[in-house]
Amino acid sequence: MLNDNKILETINMITQEHLDVRTITMGISLHSCIDDDVKKCCSKIYDKICKKAENLVATGESIEKEYGIPIINKRISVTPIATIASAAVGEDPTFDCTPFAETLQNVANTCGVNFIGGYSALVQKGFSVSDRALINSIPNALAVTNNVCSSVNIASTKAGINMDAVALMGKTIKKLAYLTKDNDSIGCAKLVVFANVPEDNPFMAGAFHGSGEGECMINVGVSGPGVVKKALEKCSGDLTEVAETIKKTAFKITRMGQLVATEASKRLGIPFGIVDLSLAPTPAIGDSVAYILEEMGLESCGSCGTTAALALLNDAVKKGGVMASSHVGGLSGAFIPVSEDAGMIAAARSGALSLEKLEAMTAVCSVGLDMIAVPGDTPEEVISALIADEAAIGVVNSKTTAVRVIPAYGKTVGDTVEFGGLLGEAPIMKISSYSPAKFIARGGRIPAPIQSLKN
């Protein structure tokens, strides 16, 4: 039986503490759209997605209204376009894949979703011709579209690190930053470089619909850093008690996500995939992962102790959330995107949070170096080496890591990039200027670590 306190607690979470469902993401397989004629292929893609997702936004809005829970984003993820474009690309590595991105943009406009993910390639062991063609087209494709997101998986625990891909991604990110220089290099905010990428992630910019997924799936990403922070304000006990408080709160948040996922799946007639039980911050005050760490007792996020506090948080979120959902997947943990988190922005601006500390934090959080702005004159080899470092952390620890870095064209340390909305703003962070150029130029593959041999 419900009591008034529980009812008011839920309403407070929603109205005061920014509790929301961050995204309902519909994953759609595009394998049936493959065609060696690019126009035909794009036309099939447009028709298929628009048909499958025609009710996505309206259904999300009706659930939002009836349950009183905000559902911030309705999104679509698709099969990596490098696979779908392979017949059209044929043997021509100079083939321009941009028409596929333009088609996805048209789909986003028609369906009313704010992001569509899957302009992606998986190259952890090597490139196919179409992988290379797609990656070469990423700068132009993301510069001429607004709502298309791209990701490239360059490493895995099983395959090791494809250092040729790492080198190529440094170059790609720099070019993308230049092509979108009039908007603070915003194109780079739509491109993620992964190690151990999950194939059912509902969060952007890294969402795509993996080849092992079904024809069409509903995946839901929850949020709620503000709720965890508020719960910890009332907790004066030791860190065991802190962990227990986070677990209980994560359970409640995830149960709500599971309810929304089940309901969306039922109303759309599409199987439920997973709930991603992530703490995803927004730039809104009070919706910050950094503030949770500070609530635990750190003067500022970035101080010594930050990695330990984040490890506790990440683990407790998973433990609390896993019982609340029948299928957990995606990234599941705490996100630490600098530009999207008011506390991280403040810590980076004051100098308390450095890039090196962020790198350490990524060893224990759910993703990686996310939404970090660095000087526009950072050489491409440095960006590549940053990606390699992050991939190494993921590969060796059998976890997902990622890099979404913005070498903001024409800006330097002390400046700020402003994207607005959920993407927020970021102070330009200092990055080591010592050159890793020779290391990156070697290319090849860093072999898979011994812990990959589990069979």
State which residue, 261 or 361, has the beta carbon closest to other proteins: 261
In 3D space, the residue among 126, 149, 28, 167 whose CA is nearest the CA of residue 84 turns out to be 28
Residue 256 interacts with other proteins (CB under 8 A)?
A: yes
User: Looking at 33-41, 66-74, 177-185, 295-303, which segment touches other proteins (CB under 8 A)?
Assistant: 66-74
Residue 7 interacts with other proteins (CB under 8 A)?
A: yes
Question: What is the Cα–Cα distance from 135 to 133, expressed in whole angstroms?
Answer: 6
In 3D space, the residue among 69, 57, 2, 6 whose CA is nearest the CA of residue 260 turns out to be 69
Residue 426 interacts with other proteins (CB under 8 A)?
A: no
- Shortest Å, Cβ 119 to other proteins: 35
- Shortest Å, Cβ 59 to other proteins: 12
Question: What is the Cα–Cα distance from 103 to 145, expressed in whole angstroms?
Answer: 10
Question: What is the Cα–Cα distance from 129 to 53, expressed in whole angstroms?
Answer: 30
State which residue, 224 or 273, has the beta carbon closest to other proteins: 224
Count of residues touching other proteins (by CB under 8 A): 20
- Shortest Å, Cβ 229 to other proteins: 18
Residue 342 interacts with other proteins (CB under 8 A)?
A: no
User: Looking at 252-260, 288-296, 376-384, 432-440, which segment touches other proteins (CB under 8 A)?
Assistant: 252-260
- Shortest Å, Cβ 2 to other proteins: 5
- Shortest Å, Cβ 61 to other proteins: 9
Angle at 150 between CA 291 and CA 115, to 5 degrees: 70
- Shortest Å, Cβ 228 to other proteins: 14
Residue 255 interacts with other proteins (CB under 8 A)?
A: yes
State which residue, 276 or 370, has the beta carbon closest to other proteins: 276
The amino acid sitting at 47 is D
Question: What is the Cα–Cα distance from 242 to 82, expressed in whole angstroms?
Answer: 45
Residue 259 interacts with other proteins (CB under 8 A)?
A: yes
In 3D space, the residue among 297, 384, 291 whose CA is nearest the CA of residue 346 turns out to be 291
77: left (phi over 0), alpha (psi -120 to 50) or beta: beta
Question: What is the Cα–Cα distance from 298 to 353, expressed in whole angstroms?
Answer: 12
- In eight-state DSSP terms, residue 352 is S
State which residue, 62 or 128, has the beta carbon closest to other proteins: 62
**Which residues are at the interface with other proteins (CB under 8 A)?**
2, 4, 6-11, 15, 62, 65-69, 252, 255-256, 258-259
